[in-house]
Amino acid sequence: MFDSKMLTSFVIKSSLCKYSNMKIGGDAAYLLAPQNVSDLSSIIKEANAQNLQILPVGGGSNILFGNVGNRVIILDAYLSEIFQVDNDTVIVSSNMKISSFIDKAMQYGLGGMEFISGIPAHIGGAIHMNAGAFEKCISDYLYWVEYVDMKGNVITIDRKDLEFGYRTTSIIGFIVRAAFKLDKKTKKQILADKEDIISKRFERHPYDYPSLGSTFKNPKGKFVGQLIEECGLKGLQIGEAQISEKHANFIINLGNATFNDVYELIKIVQETVEKQKGIELKLEIKVIN
């Protein structure tokens, strides 16, 4: 248990399902919401002193919560929102939604990142997983990142000193701010590009039900959705979790799906695809259990 009276003021009594796009999750012993970077640093240091695992959570767009045990789950909900513009550079807090970021930048005639329109993530989470689509990645526009590492130290690092891969980054910690170099574009063009991307997403993806987006990473030269469909698993349902009929790399919550429902589908997909295709599928989502 936390001994510090100061830390108890950050505890939130709430179910984790509120912080997951999948709408799945129970109670957490340590669900904390710092209000500034100093609070965040203190929480991490105290958690380390208590030998507790730490899990940063932003928009919850790619986290499947099971039994989180005694993990210290840190939310970005109460951190200040920042949005500052200097010529073509935008400094933004990690807790801003991607949709808000794109809309605010558009008001200054700055764009380029419309390719991630429609992704229900926060900026920090998008950086952590190097979110991308249509042959572009968020790291293409990143200038620098400020984050709190797992020892509680505040670090600012340039893009050139970071490593990014397919849905991965070398950052280990809680991102608090980032700067992006954007393209100068007309509001009309930004809006048109944004609407085109969102239209394509709604055409291909099952946004009518809660999900965590793409469940698995695409193997090199392959598309997971196609592999799952070829294995005859499209539409497979366990409880109220289903492999989407619209896009087989999405697992959707039909209403009251549980962690176990979703996790069983994940295991079936991985085992079946490996058996039939000889391909080991790796998760794009985070499974916490």
Give the residue numbers annotated as catalytic, written as ranges: 167, 214, 284
Neighbours of 30 (CB within 10 A): 24
Polymer length of the chain: 289
Q: Are 194 and 186 in contact (CB under 8 A)?
A: no
- Rounded to whole angstroms, the Cα distance separating 174 from 155 reads 10
Structure tokens that stand for 10 in this block: 């950050």
DSSP code per residue over 38-104: HHHHHHHHHHHHTT--EEEESS-TTEEE---TT-EEEE-TTSPP-EEEETTEEEEETTSBHHHHHHH
Residues 6+ apart with CB under 8 A from 268: 233, 236, 238
- Rounded to whole angstroms, the Cα distance separating 186 from 135 reads 22
Q: Are 170 and 96 in contact (CB under 8 A)?
A: no
Q: Which residue has the tokens 């005859």?
A: 232
- Rounded to whole angstroms, the Cα distance separating 68 from 42 reads 21
Exposure on the CB side of residue 97, measured as CA atoms within 13 A: 10
DSSP code per residue over 248-284: TT-EEE-SS--HHHHHHHHHHHHHHHHHHH-----BS
